[in-house]
Amino acid sequence: MLNLRPTYPIGIDIHSQNIYAVQLKESGGGLAVRALAHRQGEGWAEKALEGGNGLASQLKGMVKNTGFRGKRAVVHLPSPYLYTFPVSVRVDEGGTLEEAIVAESAKHLPFPIEEATLDYPSIASVASGKADKHKATIIAARTEQVRQFLLTLKQAGLSVEAVDADISSLMRLHGYLHEVNETPTMLCHVGFTRTLLAVATKDRMIVHRTVAWGIETLLVKLEKNLELSRAQSRGLLMACGFLRRGRKLPDEGKGLTDEDTMQESVLRAVRQIITPYLEALIYEFHNVIGYMMSEEPDAVIQEGYVYGHANFIRDLDRYLESTLNIPIKLVNPVTNMALPEDGMLTDPSEGGPFSLALGLAMRQVLWP
């Protein structure tokens, strides 16, 4: 008889321009990072769907050369290939909840339901007299695209134990780092080109959507307006962001100023360039909040947490707080975990973009 025990897989978060991989291990103070890796490029997801071996070779190199153990993995499918929507269903006599969800999901997809793979990370019963009603969040993908991604990981020598939803990974990570209760909480993960927004409680998801907005937008605008390199524009976002005059500047701003103080004109210029593009994200926040209020008029969001590349935008939490009137915290999960000594992540402040990969890596799998 096999004695199965839980083990931590390699969490692999694949995006069009970035791949993040993390593996965890138990330590005396909780979880620690065993290994992590990052690759940057162009069109990773597209190359995989076209049958190229670029993504497979990158994944093989990441896992082989950076301290990972084993080949078992949990992965995300890139968000551009996912369809996310809420459904409300009633289970008729003689029917099942799964049948009701499949039938209702077919109305929302732009392709036949027979070609779809469905996941529903959140299902909640709805009080409605004698009727058996439920609300669910659906995440769907084309089955053929799922198979192609799994084949790519197999070509990289990996054994995929599960395909996870990005919101499930974020909620898993958030639940590890913070106390979660029945009060609605705003969760946000700012990516490079896309951002995940959700309102959730301990047991259910009220609303979830992914929007085409990422930190790349701000970097490109700074580069064009101020004639900067990518590294310079990123440094400027980290040093300035929404910093206001009179607050002490960080050490990383020294290279941009004549000593320790950055001129107000530079701060103002950065704010003027990035604010109009942040307004697009604020608009999406309001859409999510509005949907929540339409579904649950008495619900009140008590606080919000922002992960991912948001950590590279100085004082973004203050800007969001003042605009949304909700307490906001920027979260860099790497600062709460011991890191490997291989120097792969020389500065813990660089850990924000690994958030979803960390949530993936927390999903234990059974193995002899």
* 3-state secondary structure (DSSP) of residue 346: coil
CATH of range 82-143; options 3.40.309.10, 3.40.190.10, 3.40.50.720, 3.30.1490.300: 3.30.1490.300
d(CA 62, CA 13): 12
Looking at the domain 5-80+145-179+333-367, which fold is it? Nucleotidyltransferase; domain 5 (3.30.420)
pLDDT at 253: 47
- The reply to whether domains 5-80+145-179+333-367 and 215-329 share a CATH topology is yes
> How many CB atoms lie under 10 A from the CB of residue 298?
5
pLDDT at 309: 96
What is the residue-level pLDDT of the chain in tens, covering all 368 positions? 456 678 899 999 998 889 999 999 988 778 999 999 998 887 777 777 776 677 888 888 888 867 899 999 999 888 888 999 999 998 887 889 999 999 999 999 999 999 999 998 888 887 766 668 888 999 999 999 999 989 989 999 999 999 999 999 999 999 999 988 889 999 999 999 999 999 998 888 899 999 999 999 999 999 999 999 999 999 999 988 888 655 454 554 445 444 445 567 888 889 999 999 999 999 999 999 999 999 888 889 999 999 999 999 999 999 999 999 999 999 999 887 888 776 667 677 789 999 999 999 999 887 65
pLDDT at 121: 86
Q: Which residues contact 11 (CB under 8 A, 6 or more apart)?
A: 21, 22, 23, 24, 73, 74, 75, 169, 357, 358, 359, 360, 361, 362, 363
Three-state DSSP string of 220-250: HHHHHHHCCCHHHHHHHHHHCCCCCCCCCCC
d(CA 316, CA 319): 5
d(CA 249, CA 256): 11
d(CA 307, CA 304): 10
CATH of range 215-329; options 3.40.50, 3.30.420, 2.30.30, 3.10.50: 3.30.420
pLDDT at 240: 87
Residue ranges covered by each domain of the chain: 5-80+145-179+333-367, 82-143, 215-329
Side chain identity at residue 307, one-letter code: Y
d(CA 333, CA 22): 12
pLDDT at 114: 96
pLDDT at 217: 94
pTM strictly above 0.85 = yes
Q: DSSP class of residue 218?
A: H
DSSP bridge pairs for 118: 140
DSSP code string of 38-63: EEE-S-HHHHHHTT-SHHHHHHHHHH
DSSP bridge pairs for 188: 197, 306
